[in-house]
């Protein structure tokens, strides 16, 4: 690969660029970007900060990490031969298997030829006169393209709270989202896990098996539903494969891009004994089944309370120590307002002699010392501290890049009050820049592979349409963007999701503006909206 800067103006008056499209990040989105652009005759190149494809599934190597969407659904649908060939082994695939799948896809379609690894994009600057982007890498190289697609991921920027004295700690500090290659020796050690979100909940039972003593530092308890993961039988796989086309269509036309469909009944319309029966049945099935039992769990506090109380009763039944059960059931936010968590033996883990739960909401962490962690009332000694503290989600990885649009405007300044994106796809003032699963789209509220394919397909079709019409510049209009942002906020405000301090709102990052970052109107509605906008001549975009 050559290093270049924008080359001289060609005879046609257009600046020649290195690539039609540059992508930033080679997770599922960046990989599919390469495949889709190539298939449609665009030159494309992706830069990836890590040394492998797979993104999330390469970085999150912690024990217990696995998918919470069924494997047969959490996979690409763009090639039937691929989905017929690949054999998923478990209902919820472990991270290692998903990574193998990503590597298989990269090899199968020879994607790595158009990906540069170990290379972080640090800046992307738009040249208005020439209508092209210059992308700068951390190696100091520059490349030009007509379009840039941010395939940086929603959960790729690990959040490591800066506790005072953290640099003094002489033991090992690890973040779940940057788990060391080759693993971590936890055998017999005194281990702390900070955080009880999805990552912490998957990790904690695994650490408990290995560590001499495990201390879980919980600030907010989570609602954890039993995953009830199983190995996939040949019969199941064969049947699923035989109906893949139909099932993919169903998922694309569903609320969350999955084959889960909520009941048509409101909680209040179902008699008490029937409610109980339904919840017990869903609990026994496992996964997110419980969240489908009533239509209005996400919008009606009374219905939500019924389901939340049911989960709390299950936690109490599982945990033998009364004080520990009290801490694990002290949630004051609606169930589902934060991402619902699937676990395996999570609550049962607290019955082990080597596991202790510390409430750091009542007794907050004040500092790290050379030998451990100080809370207001105690000092805990550790060999290893694991941060399961989450991510600076969605905007985090984008704002790490110095993105400059029309007139040199900095994206971080334009987004200082919260992300400003039309359809989650394009931002006013930043022509020819697209986001994959960007803010204002369903993003992580949907099966992400389905959401990624929808976005990359939409972007590819847009570029194809523009090529056919000899158009080279597309930009979201400010009015359409304002209206979309308002619509996203209005929908979120009708739900219970805004009642929790979650990363959906940026509440986990000190100083981050509190804006609900996802479209909650449902994936199928969102997809139909994107299609309609395209059919209506890209309403809300200015193209020339
Ligand atoms: P990523 O996989 O995050 O890839 C983005 C890539 O961009 C990364 O490799 C990163 O290194 C790279 N990058 C970022 N910035 C730069 C830069 N400046 N320069 C160069 N490279 C850069 N979703 C689901 O739907 N179901 C699940 O069960 C599920 N489980 C998850 C479990 C975990 C532990 C996590 C963290 C997320 C999970 N998600 C899940 C969300 C998951 O992130 C998506 O499903 C999907 O993998 C995202 O793919 P992506 O390509 O958009 O982003
Ligand atoms: P998370 O949901 O943001 O959870 C972070 C945890 O760390 C929370 O319990 C949080 O407490 C705690 N925390 C953060 N800062 C803290 C501090 N300073 N002191 C004490 N506690 C602190 O992050 P995550 O668990 O990594 O999950 C992020 C997302 O990734 C998930 O929502 C999901 O979308 C995805 N994911 C999915 C899976 C899966 O099952 N497939 C697995 C892992 C991740 P508070 O709640 O009080 O802030």
Question: Which pLDDT tens digit goes with each residue over 186-199?
Answer: 999 999 999 999 99
Nearest Cα to 534, choosing from 415, 454, 440?
454
pLDDT of residue 12: 56
From ligand 2's centre to the CA of 166, what distance in Å?
20
Q: What is the mean pLDDT of residues 245-270?
A: 96
Q: Going by CA atoms, what residue is nearest to atom 28 of ligand 2?
A: 390
The predicted-structure confidence for 269-300, as pLDDT tens digits, reads as follows: 999 999 999 999 999 999 999 999 999 999 99
pTM of the predicted model, to two decimals?
0.97
Q: Which atom of ligand 1 is nearest to the CA of 68?
A: 28
The bound ligand whose nearest atom lies closest to the alpha carbon of 392 is: 2
The predicted-structure confidence for 450-478, as pLDDT tens digits, reads as follows: 999 999 999 999 999 999 999 999 999 99
DSSP alpha helices (H): ranges in 20-136?
Answer: 28-39, 56-59, 80-85, 95-108
DSSP alpha helices (H): ranges in 126-243?
Answer: 198-210, 234-242
Higher pLDDT, 193 or 182: 193
pLDDT of residue 4: 52
pLDDT level of residue 2 (50, 70, 90 thresholds) = very low
As for ligand 2, residues whose beta carbon falls within 6 Å of it are: 67-68, 155, 161, 176, 194-200, 202, 219-220, 339, 342, 360, 365, 388-391, 444, 503, 508
DSSP state of 382: -
- Map residue 539 onto helix, strand or coil: coil
Nearest Cα to 324, choosing from 346, 300, 298?
346
Q: Going by CA atoms, what residue is nearest to atom 20 of ligand 2?
A: 219
Q: Which atom of ligand 1 is nearest to the CA of 436?
A: 52
Inform me whether the pLDDT recorded for 498 exceeds 70: yes
DSSP alpha helices (H): ranges in 345-447?
Answer: 346-349, 395-399, 411-414
The bound ligand whose nearest atom lies closest to the alpha carbon of 393 is: 2
Q: What is the mean pLDDT of the chain?
A: 96
CA 120 to chain CA mean position, Å: 20
The predicted-structure confidence for 3-55, as pLDDT tens digits, reads as follows: 455 553 554 557 899 999 999 999 999 999 999 999 999 999 999 999 999 99
From ligand 2's centre to the CA of 199, what distance in Å?
6
């Amino acid at each position: 690969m050559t290093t270049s800067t924008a080359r001289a103006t060609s005879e046609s008056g257009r600046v020649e660029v290195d690539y039609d499209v540059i992508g930033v990040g080679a997770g599922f989105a960046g990989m599919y970007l390469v495949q889709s652009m190539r298939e449609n005759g665009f030159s494309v190149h992706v830069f990836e900060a890590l040394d492998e494809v797979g993104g999330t599934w390469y970085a999150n190597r912690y024990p217990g990490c696995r998918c919470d969407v069924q494997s047969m659904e959490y996979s690409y649908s763009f090639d039937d031969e691929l989905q017929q060939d690949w054999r998923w082994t478990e209902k919820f695939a472990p991270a290692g298997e998903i990574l193998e799948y990503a590597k298989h896809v990269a090899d199968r379609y020879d994607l790595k030829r158009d990906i540069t690894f170990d290379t972080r994009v640090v800046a992307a600057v738009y040249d208005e006169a020439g209508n092209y982007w210059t992308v700068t890498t951390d190696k100091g190289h520059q490349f030009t393209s007509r379009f840039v697609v941010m395939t940086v991921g929603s959960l790729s920027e690990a959040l490591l709270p800066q506790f005072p004295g953290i640099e003094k700690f002489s033991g090992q500090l690890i973040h779940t989202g940057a788990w060391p290659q080759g693993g971590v020796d936890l055998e017999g050690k005194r281990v702390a896990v900070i955080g009880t979100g999805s990552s912490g909940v998957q990790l904690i039972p695994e650490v408990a098996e290995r560590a001499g003593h495990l201390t879980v530092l919980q600030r907010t308890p989570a609602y954890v539903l039993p995953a009830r993961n199983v190995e996939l039988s040949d019969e199941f796989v064969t049947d699923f494969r035989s109906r893949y086309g139909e099932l993919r269509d169903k998922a694309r036309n569903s609320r969350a891009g999955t084959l889960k469909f909520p009941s048509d009944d409101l909680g209040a319309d179902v008699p008490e004994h029937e409610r109980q029966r339904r919840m017990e049945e869903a609990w026994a099935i496992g996964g997110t089944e419980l969240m489908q039992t009533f239509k209005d769990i996400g919008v009606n506090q009374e219905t939500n309370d019924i389901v939340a109380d049911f989960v709390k009763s299950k936690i109490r039944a599982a945990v033998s120590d009364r004080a520990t059960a009290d801490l694990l059931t002290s949630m004051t936010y609606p169930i589902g307002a934060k991402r619902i968590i699937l676990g395996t033996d999570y609550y049962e883990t607290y019955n082990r002699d080597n596991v202790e739960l510390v409430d750091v909401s009542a007794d907050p962490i004040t500092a790290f010392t050379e030998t451990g962690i100080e809370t207001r009332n105690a000092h805990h000694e550790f060999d290893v501290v694991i941060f399961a503290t989450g991510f600076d989600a969605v905007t985090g990885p984008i704002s790490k890049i110095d993105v400059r649009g029309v007139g040199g405007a900095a994206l971080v300044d334009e987004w200082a009050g919260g992300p400003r994106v039309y359809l989650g796809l394009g931002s006013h003032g930043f022509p020819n820049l697209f986001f994959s699963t960007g803010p204002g789209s369903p993003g992580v509220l949907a099966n992400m592979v389905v959401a990624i394919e929808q976005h990359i397909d939409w972007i590819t079709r847009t570029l194809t349409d523009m090529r056919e019409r000899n158009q080279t510049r597309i930009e979201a209009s400010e009015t359409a963007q304002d209206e979309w942002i308002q619509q996203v906020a209005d929908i979120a405000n009708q739900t219970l999701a805004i009642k929790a301090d979650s990363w959906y709102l940026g509440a986990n990052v000190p100083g981050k503006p509190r804006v609900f970052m996802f479209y909650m109107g449902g994936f199928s509605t969102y997809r139909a909206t994107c299609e309609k906008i395209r059919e209506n001549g890209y309403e809300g975009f200015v193209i020339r």
